[in-house]
Chain A
Amino acid sequence: MVIHESDAEKINTVLTTFLGESGASEALLIDRSGQLLSMTGANRALDTVSISALAAGAFSSTGALAQLLGETEFTVLFHQGNKESMHVSTVDDQAILLAIFGERTTVGMVRLFAKEASAAVGQILAEARNKPKTKGELSTPLTADESRTSFGEKTR
C-alpha cells in the first residue's frame, strides 16, 4: 500500500478532529498486519511501533474469538486502566483505529466519535488503495547495491 503526502494530510485532519471532539489524547491508525499508518496526538514518548504490533495482535485475536462464537468480528476492543484507557475499533477489513484517552473524557464519547472518524478514514484509505500504485522515485528497479542490507556487519 502507498500512502502519499496528500493522503497522510487528509488522515491527519480527520484524526485531529476526532481528538478534539472525543477528548482522547492520541489516535493511531494501524494496519491489521501490525504496522502504524498514521498517528496524531499529544507529543509524548510512546513506543508506537510496539503499541501498533500488540494492538493489531490483540484485535486479530479478538476477531478469532468472535468467529468461535459465530460472529464475524467484535468491532470494538476496550482496555480500561487506572488513568489511561485504550479503545480499538474497526475502520475496514485492513485497518483499525486505536484511541488512547485519560480521565478528561469517557469511553462513550470516544466510541461515538471513533465511529465517525473510522468512516471518514476508511474512505480516504479506500481512495488511496484505488489510486494507481505510482511509486515516484521508487518506480524503477533497484540496483544490487540499493537492495543490499547490512544487518550485523559492524558487530561481527
Chain B
Amino acid sequence: MAIINYAQKVINFKVVYYGPGVAGKTANLQHIHKSLPDVSKGNMISLAAGDDRTLFFDFLPVSATTVRGFTAKFQLYTVPGQVYYNMTRKLVLRGVDGLVFVADSQWDRLRDNVESFRNLEENLREYNYNLDDMPYVMQYNKRDLPNVAPLEYMEFMLNRRARQVPYFEAVAVSGDGVFDTLNTVSRMVLVGEFGQEKGEHRESA
C-alpha cells in the first residue's frame, strides 16, 4: 500500500521479489545494494538461515526519483523461496505495491517456477489482492547457464495470463538485467498509483 506523506514529502512503496528457492531473488538485491551510491540506498538486511537461504526476508530501501517535489522511495523485499516457508512468505506480501517474479531458467526448475507462481496467486488472494491489478514483471534469471529453457518457453509457462507483463533476461549474480527489471517495476508502480497521461504507453521498459 503506497503511503503518501505530505509532512515529509515522501511516497513509500513496497516491492517484493518472489520466486522459487535459489532463483536469485537475494542476488538481485545484493547487486542493487552493491551498485547504488550511498545517497540512494539504506542498509540491507538479510534474515537468512545458516546455509544462506533466506529465512524470513531480505530488505533494502532505495530511492530513485523525485515526483512533483515528493521523494519516491521503494522498499525492496525478498521472500524465502522454499516451499515450506509459506507462512513467512505470506507475511512479507502484506501491503505490497509491485512484484518481480524471479524465475530460474534451468529446465529442471521449470516446475518449481510454475508452483511458486501459483503459490503467489494464492497468497495474494488471501489479502484480497489480484495479479490483474498488481504491477509486476517477470525476470528469467540464470540465462548464462547451459541448460536453460528458451525464452519463448519461459513465457509460455509463466507469462500467460490475460495481461502479459514485461519480462527480462537476467544474470543476477553479475547484474545483467537487474536494473532494467527494477526500473520497469518501479515505473509501473508509480503509474499504477498515480496514472499516466493519455497517449503515452504504459509498462514500457
Contact = CB atoms under 8 A, between A and B. Distances in A.
Classify chain A: how many residues form its interface, as a range.
Answer: 35 or more
A123 interface: no
A150 B12 contact: no
Contacts of A144: 196-197, 200-201, 204
Interface in A109-156: 135-138, 140-144, 146-156
B187 A149 contact: yes
Contacts of B72: 149
A155 B45 contact: no
A57 B56 contact: yes
Interface string B38-61: 001011010100000000110101
Which secondary structure dominates chain B's binding surface?
mixed
A72 to B, nearest CB: 16
A135 B61 contact: no
A10 to B, nearest CB: 11
B130 interface: no
A138 B191 CA distance: 11
A151 to B, nearest CB: 5
Given A141-B195, A141-B197, A152 B4 contact: no
A61 interface: yes
B178 interface: yes
Contacts of B198: 141
B5 A8 contact: yes
B110 to A, nearest CB: 29
Interface stretch (B62-70, B100-108, B115-123): B62-70
Nearest to A136: B6
Nearest to A154: B37
Given A35-B3, A138-B68, A151 B32 contact: yes
B196 A60 contact: no
Interface stretch (A14-22, A26-34, A74-82, A83-91): A26-34
Contact of A3 (B4, B182, B186, B187): B4
Contacts of A105: none
A98 to B, nearest CB: 16
A133 to B, nearest CB: 9
Interface of B: 1-8, 11-12, 14, 32, 35-37, 40, 42-43, 45, 47, 56-57, 59, 61-62, 64-65, 67-70, 72, 75, 77, 87-88, 91-92, 94-96, 178-179, 182-183, 186-187, 190-191, 194-198, 200-201, 204
- 8 cross-chain pairs, A with B, having the tightest CB-CB distances, nearest first: A33-B95, A8-B7, A152-B179, A141-B195, A149-B64, A147-B190, A149-B186, A60-B91
